[in-house]
Amino acid sequence: MGIGLTDVLFSVIITNWNGKEFLGRCIDSVISQSIPRMHYEVIVVDNASSDGSAEFVKEHYPDVILIENSTNRGPAGGYNDGFNVGRGRYFAFLNNDALADYNWLESMKGEFENHPNTGIISSKVFLWNRENAAFEESNALDVTWPKLNTWSGFGLHLRDERPRHKVDYASAAAMAVRKSIYSRIGGFDETYFGYYDETDLCARTIRAGFDIMYVPTAKVWHRLSASFKRAPGFRDRILVRNRIRFVLKNFDANYLISFMILYVLEIAAKVSLLAPWDLFVFLKKLSKNDASAPSSGIEFYWTPQVRNMPYAVWWNLSNLGETLARRKQDNRRAGSGRYNENLPLRNVRVRRFLMGKLLAKLGLHPIDTK
- Which of 283, 44, 343, 327 lies closest to 186, judged by CA? 327
Mean pLDDT by 10 residues, the chain (370 residues): 62 95 95 96 97 97 97 95 97 95 97 98 85 54 90 88 94 93 95 95 96 97 68 82 96 93 83 62 60 43 71 95 96 89 88 48 40
- Measure the CA–CA gap between 146 and 169, rounded to whole angstroms: 6
- Measure the CA–CA gap between 154 and 4, rounded to whole angstroms: 43
Backbone phi, psi, residue 253, to 5°: -55, -45
**Amino acid of residue 325:** A
Backbone phi, psi, residue 118, to 5°: -75, 115
- CB of 74 within 8 A of CB of 190? yes
3-class SS of residue 157: strand
User: What is each CA distance from 8 to 36, 182, 322, 370, in whole angstroms?
Assistant: 10, 16, 37, 29
- Measure the CA–CA gap between 294 and 268, rounded to whole angstroms: 25
Domain ranges of the chain: 8-230, 233-361
Report, in this order, helix, strand and coil percent for the chain, each rounded to 5: 45, 20, 35
Helix axes 74-85, 197-207, angle to 10 degrees: 60
- Measure the CA–CA gap between 340 and 153, rounded to whole angstroms: 10
Quote the CATH superfamily of domain 8-230.
Spore Coat Polysaccharide Biosynthesis Protein SpsA; Chain A (3.90.550.10)
- CB of 122 within 8 A of CB of 175? yes
- CB of 152 within 8 A of CB of 361? yes
- Measure the CA–CA gap between 37 and 27, rounded to whole angstroms: 13
* Torsion angle, alpha carbons of 165, 171, 177, 181, to 10: 90
Nearest-Å Rg of the Cα atoms of the chain is 21
* Structure confidence at residue 2 (pLDDT): 36
End-to-end CA distance of the chain: 41
Q: How far is C-alpha 240 from the geometric centre of its chain's CA atoms?
A: 14
**Amino acid of residue 101:** D
**Amino acid of residue 284:** K
* Structure confidence at residue 335 (pLDDT): 84
- Measure the CA–CA gap between 27 and 228, rounded to whole angstroms: 19
**Amino acid of residue 228:** F
Query: Got the DSSP string for 122-150?
Result: EEEEEE---TT--GGG---EEESSEEE-T
- Measure the CA–CA gap between 337 and 341, rounded to whole angstroms: 10
- CB of 65 within 8 A of CB of 85? yes
* Structure confidence at residue 353 (pLDDT): 44
* Structure confidence at residue 274 (pLDDT): 61
- Measure the CA–CA gap between 112 and 39, rounded to whole angstroms: 15
